[in-house]
Amino acid sequence: MFKKFAGLIGLLVFTMVLTTGCGNNFANKNFKKGREYAEKGLYTKSITYYEKAIKSGAKRSDYYIGYGNALVGAGRYVDANKAFEKAVSDVDNSVSKSYKKQAYYGQAISYYYMGDYSNAEKFCEKAMELSAPASLDEKISLTRAASLSMLSKDKEAERVYGEFIKKYPENAEAHFEYAALLIKKEKYEEAANELNEAISYDKEKFDAYFELYDTYIKLKDTRSAEKVFDKLFKLDKDSGEVYFYMGKAYYILKQTDKADYYFKKAKKEGYDKTSLYQGLIYMDDGDYNKAVKYLKEGLSEKYEVDNAIIYEKLYECYQKMADFKHAAYYLEKAIEYGGESSERLKELTIVYEKAKNFEKAKTSAKRYIELYPNDTDMNKELRFIESKLSQ
């Protein structure tokens, strides 16, 4: 559950105020392009333009912060952390407190995603020591509370959430995240109350409906779980987004005909994020060819986060069809868009072996060992791959 919240928290870093100021026109032009692509969620393209701006010799805090934002969006958290660090240490201009606060918050987000919750909390505290911009304070407090929770400092996290909700009682996101902490502590009834509060303050807080459904299932309260989606189905709004979440709800209820109906309605209304779930319906039915068709339709430059999921699902489909060449290709794309992980690199090594591409299997095994040098099993696997290449 907390991984979902990590994603929500991570997006908050993109609300930072960035300016262009005067200076190198070539750099400014690339900076603006980078920011435009980041605002559209096209982080890979955004990174290219930010790098051009910085390489032109314009070492400025706002450039590094923008660059760090895009790197966070692309899942490159280690690189993002370095960029935010440079925003306060490797610049030609005097660093304002405003930029320092933004950079420290960026580092907090980067560390959170890297799983280093201790440093995430530390940099939240450093950011809060600076007064401007005050508009970041709510987000920083929520990130700090989530970090404390991940560090199992539950009492302190509860205190921070409690103080925050008292100050901002109508903040749906705070109720939503506090519910995550309560679920972690298996306080499901209290969590359900917080999720109901989140929905009461924001009827289009769609994630809260699904978390509330899961919470009632954990309480073995099926009747209340079903009523959660009744609220969603009664939303009086002719909207592609609403139809999409109605389709998702029916998908969870295993009513795939109704799910497909609402996904099609959402698409007709111009909501273009339905193909992933339509692909999942066919995956569940074991029709991997049709699943591949819909999943490929779902690929879009606008939704790089969804693309990472879609590439992973395409990988799973081709694995099921024993087409290991295509499986390897789509797993590579999943890593490109969704970031490296030990599990993905292991799988990539294995699928390249199955595809009889031992050169690429060797490359991915070496990359894994570079990140996790003490893994004896992968060291053995690398020796096996090298023996195959020497034959």
Burial of 40 (0-12, 13-18, 19+ CB in 10 A): middle
Token couple for 64: 């590094």
- pTM assigned to the model: 0.65
Which residue has tokens 């407190």? 97
Question: What percent of the chain stands above pLDDT 90?
Answer: 55
The C-alpha torsion from 332 through 278 and 304 to 45, rounded to 10°, is 90
Is the pLDDT at 94 greater than 60? The verdict is: no
Express each pLDDT in 349-380 by its tens digit. 999 999 999 999 999 999 999 888 888 999 99
Residues near 133 by beta carbon (within 8 Å), at least 6 away in sequence: 17, 98, 101, 102
| SS3 at position 272 | coil
Q: Where are the beta strands (DSSP E) in the chain?
A: none
Q: What is the pLDDT of residues 56-75, one digit of tens each?
A: 876 688 889 999 999 998 88
Q: Residue 8: pLDDT band by 50, 70, 90 thresholds? A: very low
Per-residue pLDDT of 15-68, as tens digits, reads: 444 444 445 677 888 889 999 998 888 888 999 999 998 888 766 888 899 999
Q: What is the mean pLDDT of residues 86-103?
A: 74
pLDDT in tens, 320-352: 999 999 999 999 999 888 877 888 999 999 999
Q: pLDDT tens, 137-194?
A: 888 998 999 899 889 898 999 999 999 999 889 999 999 999 999 998 899 999 999 9
Cα separation, 180 vs 221, whole angstroms: 18
Return the C-alpha torsion angle 206, 207, 208, 214, nearest 10. 120
Please, what is the Cα angle at 147 between 143 and 152, to 5 degrees?
150
Task: Please tell me whether the peptide bond between 373 and the residue prior to it is cis, using omega within 30 degrees of 0.
Answer: no
pLDDT value at 13 more than 80: no
The residue among 346, 283, 272 whose CA lies nearest residue 314 is 283
pLDDT digits (tens, 9 = 90+) for 249-272: 999 988 989 999 999 999 888 887
**Per-residue three-class SS string for 202-228:** CCCCHHHHHHHHHHHHHCCCHHHHHHH
